[in-house]
Amino acid sequence: MVGVGVVALVGPMFAHGENVVHADGKIVSLGPGKDFVLEIASGQRFAFRCTSQCHASLGHMQRHFREHANTDVYFVQGPDNSLMALNVD
């Protein structure tokens, strides 16, 4: 079980490269499209862009938003210092 957890946690980092960062929290705002705001445990909020490179289902993200479910985000910093989500689950 520990091995499965480790693979689930670091797998997306290997898939997207070494500059990928992980954050987890709750989606507090969704839209336009799949762009969203994530609030982490400290209360800090981060705005993410979820473009065509983002592996995320809008329906899944909407469910996380409605249910206040914990959400894992793997992202990189974009050229304009925006946070570009690569994987949202």
Q: What is the pLDDT of residue 1?
A: 58
84: closest CA among 19, 7, 5, 26? 19
Q: What is the pLDDT of residue 15?
A: 52
Q: Tens-of-pLDDT digits for all 89 residues of the chain?
A: 555 444 455 555 455 566 899 999 999 999 999 999 999 999 999 999 999 989 999 999 999 999 999 999 999 999 899 999 999 99
Sign of CA dihedral 84, 46, 34, 11: positive
CATH of domain 20-88: 2.40.50
Q: What is the pLDDT of residue 13?
A: 47
Q: What pTM does this model have?
A: 0.81
Sorted by where each begins, the domain ranges of the chain are 20-88
